[in-house]
Chains A and B, each alone.
Chain A
């Protein structure tokens, strides 16, 4: 920053009454006393500041009643969940229930034909089921994740180790040949357990979470395997993660996906929640 720009920046702090150290204050006062253009600049800053502040009420937007009601409803639901209450339908999980919850929200419902969606999910699940048990036919991470999530929804996904104990699960994964340290994100959902899947000869970890009626499937792969090309990750997704630390997408027929890297673990999470609900479950630092 040039000396002139630095002085300009000090002027804004000065008119806002922000704390300046003694030397900064002296610089501003000297400039204001000796230079007409600095006085004018300070006046302009002050006038613009006063204008925006005087119009702040008209610059505000009133939250729509529908949004406020929706937030209250969501908080009620979250409170009920944290109190240990579950809705009747959550105890009888079914494929039709999964489809309803997946496509029940307006964001997902738009332009969808439920039957077509069932076909897509079933087809995605079949891709996975055709392969040997615990081994993915596809070597591309997002394809495996979407296909496996289809199995989670239909109930055909087998959780090898049912546990919410992360130490126990880490031991399980290590015993099954997963060579990296499995990452357990801080997520406001119940951990149901884990399984191992082999992608192109590499052992990868899978975790399943539940949040009320919604499911979350998390596939973890060693980033070194991706770097070496043993496991593929769609180029655009990888580019997003490299450049922006994460990638998200919301596919009406498949679900919402987050991909991010934690240390050297590539995490791919899929859920049947819209993005805002899904994202809201994760602790800030995770995503």
Chain B
């Protein structure tokens, strides 16, 4: 299964423009509400017609503004689970699941899908008599019963409580490999995105900002906005002091920091850049352990502290002239004795620093991340 997607449209003041390709994987569309994630699914499903674009599912074009082709939803073979599930209230679970099925061996396949989703005991129940998790399974089963290898899931677990979500995410990952599915999964939950994604597409204000492997997006966000959306707590404004082979020296505040040169673009000396480092990547060191030969050590003083139980979030006033946030697990927090000591040395390991262009129009780290339509 492959999905080639490109679409451009405007809805009132909202302008939407995105293109990407998906294969046999879980692609997570991530972003705030109103970013265009659900819209993308509606366009793929044929429920919303973009003004321009081309959509090809497994080699078969289903929409092409160039030729005027626009297959109606009922002719696009895909499974679509909407956010509020929309289980047909007047039908039983079995009737719901069988709704999209056709063919002679329908009964056998219905039994298979119900078994697969552990719904057999609820065969004759109406949806409203099911628990939230069971309803979720029923909606998923109904979409799977289409026997399409493309599954569109719009915030499928958002209405469930945390324990159920954990279970269903695990189930989704199991189903994906068992049934060889391609899944387009919409969520605004960062942890959920990280857990289920093979590749991550970050949407903001109708634009696809970055679309790459999950680790790549989390470690090397294309720009400040992607870094903000993916929860990078520290985005420091700096200037390139020196550009060497594979490495940059960046000046931030009064400090000089070494960082790996970004892939895909070459910042010039003197150019302003953004420097991203996740709060959990910053190390704390005691002041007396300072080693003058080691790079990327910065003095800082704790100004604010939040205890989350398993972790502590510390906000430092630092020598880079901008606040630095550090996340530290409860155990090292105690071992280091952070509670009794305000002044620390912050280590920003070069390999965890990521240099981003300041201008949002600058090229990002890979060609596929480009969101603008030609």
Q: Do A and B bind each other?
A: no
A residues sitting closer than 8 Å to B (CB atoms) are none
B residues sitting closer than 8 Å to A (CB atoms) are none
